[in-house]
Amino acid sequence: MEYIGLGPRLIAGLIDLVILVLMNALVALLLSPVASAGVQVLSPAIIGVGLFFVYSIGLEGILGATIGKMLMGQKIVKTNGFPIDLPAAIIRNILRPIDAIPFFLPYLTGIILIQSSSKRQRLGDRLANTVVVSKPGRKR
Residue-level pLDDT at 61: 97
Residue 137, pLDDT above cutoff 90: no
Share above pLDDT 90 across residues of the chain, in percent, rounded to a whole number: 70
Grouping H, G, I as helix, E, B as strand and the rest as coil, residue 105 is: coil
User: What SS3 class is residue 75?
Assistant: strand
* pTM for this predicted structure: 0.86
How does the average pLDDT of the chain come out, rounded? 90
Predicted local confidence at residue 34, as pLDDT: 65
The whole-number average pLDDT for the span 13-27 is 93
- The one-character DSSP state at 64 is S
Mean pLDDT of 45-67: 93
Distance CA 97, CA 110 (A): 9
Dump pLDDT digits (tens) for 72-106: 999 999 999 999 999 999 999 999 999 888 877 88
> What pLDDT was estimated at residue 104?
78
pLDDT at 40: 63
Task: Give the pLDDT band (50/70/90) at residue 32.
Answer: confident
Helix (H, G, I), strand (E, B) or coil at 95: coil
How far apart CA 77 and CA 82 sit, in angstroms, is 6
For the ranges 14-23, 73-82, 131-140, the lowest mean pLDDT is seen at: 131-140
